[in-house]
């Protein structure tokens, strides 16, 4: 299956939650910030043109002013306000999301992330069956092919990705308001080198979506080294 037509942008890079985190002593604000981030990213990926997508994220997620956003985009404040108004109008037309994502701090979400990490570090495809929903999807950048359904996801990962125990190491984090992990893969010299990040859509029924970002530079974005000591 192909998530989008050729030439379209299908993913935005993962944004570390720490970059937009409100004060730790305001739990309600943390939840609202994550919900805003998820809505902005999901909506912009699926429904908004590129300029409106950027304006929405700069204004609603990163909290830049209209003037600052205009300077970043080399446009006018009026154009920014108009673009944001159109983006908001489009979001208001959208139907509510059919599933409720778990907060990354929810114990159920953390258990799903831990299970996904364990499956890779132990090279155990069977563990994925306990984590993924039956309708789960698996996507990977920069590739456009994706897998739909738990059986297909497990088959692909087991046959081509998991390798042997010790090939992978993952460190839990949060990104895009969701549970995530930075990923390391053991190279031919036996070193664990940065491989990218993975973001999970965790629901009460299991993980509904896995997106793997194959960009080693993202590991540094989350504050981790390029090479991980055993």
Q: Provide the token pair at 162.
A: 């998991």
Instruction: Check whether residue 217 and residue 125 sit in a common domain.
Output: yes
Contacts of 105 (CB under 8 A, 6+ apart): none
Mind listing the pLDDT tens digit for each residue in 28-43? 555 555 555 555 555 4
Instruction: Let me know whether 137 and 75 are in one domain.
Output: no
In this structure, the answer to whether residues 204 and 166 fall within a common structural domain is: yes
The last residue of one of the domains, among 48, 64, 93, is 93
Residues 79 and 167 in one domain: no
Q: Which residues 6+ apart lie within 8 Å of 18 measured at CB? A: 174, 223
Q: Are strands 132-141 and 146-148 parallel, antiparallel or unpaired?
A: antiparallel
Are residue 221 and residue 111 in the same domain, yes or no?
A: yes
Going by C-beta distance under 8 Å and a sequence separation of 6 or more, which residues neighbour residue 126?
Answer: 119
Number of domains in the chain: 2
The Cα–Cα gap between 185 and 192 comes to: 5
Indicate whether 21 belongs to any domain. yes
Residues 121, 57 within the same domain: no
Residues 159 and 53 in one domain: no
- Both 88 and 111 in one domain: the answer is no
The low-confidence residues of the chain, meaning pLDDT below 70, are 1-47, 93-99, 144
Instruction: Out of 45, 66, 93, pick the residue that ends a domain.
Output: 93
pTM above 0.85, yes or no: no
Q: How high is the pLDDT of residue 165?
A: 93
Whether 57 is covered by a domain: the verdict is yes
Respond yes or no on whether the N-terminal peptide bond of residue 218 is cis (omega within 30° of 0). Answer: no
Say if residue 123 is in the same domain as residue 81.
no
- pLDDT given at position 64: 86
Q: What is the pLDDT of residue 25?
A: 53
Domain of residue 87, CATH code: 1.10.10.10
Mind listing the pLDDT tens digit for each residue in 195-226? Answer: 999 999 899 999 998 989 988 999 998 999 99
Residue range of the domain that includes 83:
17-93
> Are residues 141 and 212 in contact, defined by beta-carbon separation less than 8 angstroms?
yes
Give counts: helices (H), strands (E), the chain: 8, 7
Domain C-terminal end among 66, 93, 120: 93
Q: What H or E segment, with its residue span, contains residue 133?
A: strand 132-141
Q: Which single residue is written with the structure tokens 């965790």? A: 202
């Amino acid at each position: 299956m192909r998530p989008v037509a050729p030439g379209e942008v299908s993913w935005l890079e993962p944004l570390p939650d720490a970059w937009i985190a409100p004060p730790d002593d305001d739990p309600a604000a943390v939840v609202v910030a994550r919900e805003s981030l998820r809505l902005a990213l999901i909506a912009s990926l699926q429904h908004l043109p590129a300029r409106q997508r950027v304006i929405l994220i700069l204004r609603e997620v990163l909290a830049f002013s209209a003037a600052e956003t205009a300077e970043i985009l080399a446009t006018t404040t009026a154009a920014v306000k108009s673009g944001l108004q159109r983006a908001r109008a489009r979001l208001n037309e959208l139907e509510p999301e059919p599933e409720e994502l778990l907060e990354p701090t929810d114990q159920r979400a953390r258990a799903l992330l831990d299970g996904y990490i364990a499956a890779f570090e132990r090279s155990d495809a069977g563990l994925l069956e306990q984590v993924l929903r039956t309708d789960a999807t698996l996507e990977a950048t920069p590739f456009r092919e994706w897998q739909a359904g738990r059986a297909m996801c497990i088959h692909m990962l087991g046959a081509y990705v998991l390798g042997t125990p010790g090939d992978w190491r993952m460190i839990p984090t949060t990104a895009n308001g969701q549970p995530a992990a930075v990923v390391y893969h053991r190279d031919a010299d036996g070193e664990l080198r940065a491989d990218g990040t993975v973001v999970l859509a965790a629901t009460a029924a299991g993980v509904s979506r896995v997106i793997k970002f194959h960009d080693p530079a993202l590991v540094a974005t989350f504050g981790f080294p390029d090479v991980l000591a055993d």
